[in-house]
Amino acid sequence: MASGSQFVCQECGHSALAWTGRCPGCGEWNTLVEARGPSTRAGGGRARSASGGAGLAPKPVPLREVQAPKTERLLTRIAELDRVLGGGVVPGSVVLLGGSPGIGKSTLTGMALGNLAAGGAKVLYVSGEESAAQVRLRAERLGDASLSVPVLAETSVEAVRAALEAERPAVCVIDSVQTLHSEGMTGAPGSVGQVREAAGAITEVGKRIGTAVILVGHVTKDGSVAGPRVLEHLVDCVLLFEGERERSFRTIRALKNRFGATSEVGVFEMRSGGLVEVADPSARFVGEASDAPGSCVLCAMEGTRPLLVEVQALVAPTEIVPPRRVATGIDRNRLAMVLAVLARHGGPSLASADVFVNVAGGVRVDEPGADLAVALALVSAHRGRALADAEGRPLACFGEVGLTGELRFVSHPERRVAEALKFGLGPVVGPEAGEAVQGLAAHRTVRSALRATTAAPRTAARAA
């Protein structure tokens, strides 16, 4: 064990000088994680109070007397990324960008640094996964601006700290935080202790010198950011870059943002020359929507932006017990709930059929307003009856489904309807909005919506 490090139980906080499989304090197994002791922190000695003395109590200051200087954000000139960040990169902030391997995290950060460097900002790219030659090969397809970005191939936390203090860039990208290791700890790079120590050290120097740091991280099998949970609490902003590698569309959303909203989402398309912003994703998805049975258009809200996506369903008889329930792009538990509501409140029982639901384009929708689209697509697929009108335009809908069979109000119905009408879709099926919304065919229950859309060929939407 390295000098000054210890092993701390993540359950009870018991500390030990050596790792053991079972914690001596609480008896839990595999909970001891290596951590650096307080006496070996940077600067030497234990942390001192802000007043400079161990026995002097700091004086609280009312918020109205606190000076809040205005800082100009650094624009990456990638509109989708800047909007998700809340208007650009805040100097001195720490951003954690998570995503699965090969999704395009390095491409996105390389493009951002190239744009910042072209605008006169001092930047630095620290690569722990690739050599400088490999980084250049990727930057060549991103344009000349990316080739002007200084790169440092280094995995030592101490070396990265020294480079930051010497160069003092405006923005620095660490790709990735799982590859860094501290010389004062014995754990392998990527372990809980190493990731926590590396992130803490980089965050400290970045905030002290005013450098905005973007930490690139990986995700686990369930899609959450890999590493200790304290890593997400340590940073100012957590971004998740997701999508299917077999598809060209990518989405970036904020899970945490101290300087902006957490509901915004940006859409990109991966091409040979890098990532291309999709300014109007609804036009892409609606243009590919099908008028076949089992398809409908969901009027979703991603932050402040309405987004039209196609929801597809397939219902097939099966002799397998239990039948399969496959959901791509929506929560599998929400699918199970919609199936139960359909069986109980006016829809078909699909207990003896395999059910597949997919949000086309590789987009993931997490809001409850997708329930009605899933229900209508399932019933349409089961009955083999398309939801399109006489002109072949697909049905647009939105709404949350309650356990008692009612349709519940969701946010911004007027924006959802307006987005659908812009592409010639309507009337839009949804719950009552509380006020008159032109182009909305309001229904109170799932049974009413099913009767109006799937019981007969659709010619005009009827209100409940």
User: What would the pLDDT profile of 333-367 be if each residue is shown by its tens digit?
Assistant: 999 999 999 999 988 999 999 999 999 877 888 88
CATH code, domain with 296? 3.30.230.10
By residue range, what is the domain housing residue 331?
283-453
Residues 274 and 343 in one domain: no
Other beta carbons less than 10 A from residue 276's beta carbon = 13
Residues 218 and 326 in one domain: no
What tokens appear for 216 in the block?
Answer: 């690139």
Q: What is the pLDDT of residue 40?
A: 43
List phi, psi (to 5°) of 174: -105, 110
Asked whether residue 462 is assigned to any structural domain, the reply reads no
Please say if the pLDDT value at position 26 is more than 60: yes
What sign does the CA torsion over 341, 343, 346, 348 have? positive
Q: Which residue shows structure tokens 């590698």?
A: 245
Asked whether residue 104 is assigned to any structural domain, the reply reads yes
Of the ranges 67-76, 98-107, 202-211, which is most confident?
202-211
Residues 331 and 394 in one domain: yes
Asked whether residue 341 is assigned to any structural domain, the reply reads yes
Residues 290 and 230 in one domain: no
Q: Are 441 and 395 in contact (CB under 8 A)?
A: no
- Band of pLDDT at residue 226, cut at 50, 70 and 90: low
Domain boundary among 216, 244, 279: 279
Q: Are 421 and 439 in contact (CB under 8 A)?
A: yes
Q: What is the pLDDT of residue 462?
A: 37
C-alpha of 365 from chain center: 11
Q: Are 91 and 207 in contact (CB under 8 A)?
A: no
Residues 256 and 344 in one domain: no
Domain boundary among 260, 279, 298: 279
Please say if the pLDDT value at position 399 is more than 90: yes
Asked whether residue 415 is assigned to any structural domain, the reply reads yes
Residues 296 and 246 in one domain: no
The total number of structural domains that make up the chain: 3
| Length of the chain as a residue count | 464
CATH code, domain with 269? 3.40.50.300
Q: Is 442 helix (H, G, I), strand (E, B) or coil?
A: strand
Residues 142 and 34 in one domain: no
C-alpha to C-alpha distance for 293 and 440, rounded to whole angstroms: 22
Please say if the pLDDT value at position 460 is more than 50: no
Residues 119 and 241 in one domain: yes
Asked whether residue 64 is assigned to any structural domain, the reply reads no
Q: Are 207 and 258 in contact (CB under 8 A)?
A: no
pLDDT in tens, 298-321: 999 987 789 999 999 999 999 888
Asked whether residue 67 is assigned to any structural domain, the reply reads no
Q: What is the pLDDT of residue 41?
A: 44
Domain boundary among 247, 279, 311: 279
Residues 203 and 267 in one domain: yes
pTM value > 0.85: no
Asked whether residue 62 is assigned to any structural domain, the reply reads no
pLDDT in tens, 276-299: 998 888 888 888 888 889 999 999
Residues 94 and 20 in one domain: no
Residues 243 and 299 in one domain: no
Which of 458 and 192 is assigned the larger pLDDT? 192
